[in-house]
Amino acid sequence: MSRVDADVVVIGAGLAGLRCADRLAAAGRAVVHVERDHVVGGRQRTDEVDGFLLDRGFQVLNPAYPAVRRFVDVDDLGLRPFGAGLLVRRDDGLAELAHPLRRPRGLPATLRSRLLAPAEAAALARWAAPALTSPRGLKRGQDRSLREGLDAAGVTGALRTEVLEPFLAGVVAEDRGETSEAFVRLLVRMFALGVPGLPARGIQALPEWIADRSRRRPDGPDLRLSTPVLGVRAGREPQVVCADGTTLTARAVVVAVGPEAVGGLVDVPAPVTRGLRTWWFSAPKAPSDSTMVVVDGRRRGPMVNAAVVSNAVPSYAPAGSHLVQVTTLLGDGHDPTEDEVRRQAAEVFGVPTGPWEAVRRDDVHDALPAQLPPLRLTSPARVDAGVFVAGDHRDTASIQGALVSGDRVAGAVLAELAAG
């Protein structure tokens, strides 16, 4: 019999891989966890550049996600929320839409925006209601595209074209309304229940928190960074072939890499993904004192959202500077230039952007898996003899989906190992 190096080898230290390895180790299994990069996090990465904290593209963490509440101590992350609402650029200025429950004092400004025509607001409320009252029903019911769902519900007018569609384009990374209506409704539920924010140390603090908790346990996973994997061999004792010439043999292997890499290790269809491009700018003066995310209701350019990130999370910028992000779609014919982004940002914020300095541009071609109808909440955990796959591309495209997938796949591995 061949030498077995571990009960389970987990490949990839993004959120799904970290949660999977953590649960397996907590159950008493010997886990070797390999990651090609020198740090954990996958798509949840943060770099310090000239005193600024720059995530790999604009990301947020919603503390209302059930998996986040279950598996992470959010208080330890120092989460700083964005404003509970949205700023919308209209022809006559910036309009504020406040979250009615989280920021009731913003109701007068919301009413003055003239974006809440009674009939349109009522139609939107009817469309969103099932997400709040019967989320399980959404998961089991019929599905269609977001565009078809909004049309059928009679959601029209400025509330749709100037607010909902521009905002959701930045959330699902597409602006044609092709995303699953059920998936978007579930996202709307999370926005209703929680206010997204960012950890004081950047989005990477989330995966690092999970990894640090695992390291503190004497029976935690054997995490090996800077260990790229070349291939996986399925079988009774599956093997992982590493780029350094070593081969790890285990009783099970979990492939928890991103959607762009999974097809190179296991025989599964390559997931369709959406891309986003984020420009990070250093501004000597904040273009707005708001902590809210901004959208362009006029839709006169490539921008899907912008924010003065350092207003909400001061630690993202050094003293005396301000950090502004502007995000656009990427791919499918979208390839915006810095000049286009600066022009639109100047119009949206109502200030010149000439003094802004570009700190970095992030092109995230595989920002998130596409969620086309009908919504598929899970994919089979086991894909070959002894080989399992985890990731948000196997559940739902979100931090919630990644954590749930890692946990679910760990459960399937434990069940198979227990069965011998």
Q: What is the pLDDT of residue 166?
A: 96
pTM: 0.95
Q: What is the pLDDT of residue 1?
A: 43
Q: What is the pLDDT of residue 98?
A: 83
Q: What is the pLDDT of residue 138?
A: 85
Distance, in Å, from the CA atom of 152 to the CA atom of 159, rounded to the nearest integer, reads 15
Distance, in Å, from the CA atom of 172 to the CA atom of 177, rounded to the nearest integer, reads 9
Distance, in Å, from the CA atom of 175 to the CA atom of 109, rounded to the nearest integer, reads 27
Q: What is the pLDDT of residue 2?
A: 60
Burial of 114 (0-12, 13-18, 19+ CB in 10 A): exposed
Burial of 119 (0-12, 13-18, 19+ CB in 10 A): exposed
Taking the chain (420 residues) in runs of 10, the rounded mean pLDDT of each run is 86 98 97 98 97 98 97 96 96 88 72 83 93 87 95 94 96 97 96 95 98 93 98 97 97 97 95 97 98 97 98 98 98 94 98 98 97 94 98 96 98 95
Q: What is the pLDDT of residue 141?
A: 84
- Can you say whether residue 28 is alpha, beta or left, with left for phi > 0 and alpha for psi between -120 and 50 degrees? left
Q: Is the separation of the CB atoms in 371 and 274 below 8 Å?
A: no
Closest CA to 388 of 290, 247, 265: 265
Domains of the chain: 6-45+204-271+379-418 (3.50.50.60), 80-118+171-177+190-198+273-369 (3.90.660.20)
Q: Is the separation of the CB atoms in 225 and 38 below 8 Å?
A: yes
Residue 96's Cα: distance from chain center in Å?
A: 25
- The residues near 6 (Cβ < 8 Å, ≥ 6 apart) are 30, 31, 32, 222, 248, 250, 251
Burial of 101 (0-12, 13-18, 19+ CB in 10 A): exposed
Distance, in Å, from the CA atom of 416 to the CA atom of 251, rounded to the nearest integer, reads 10
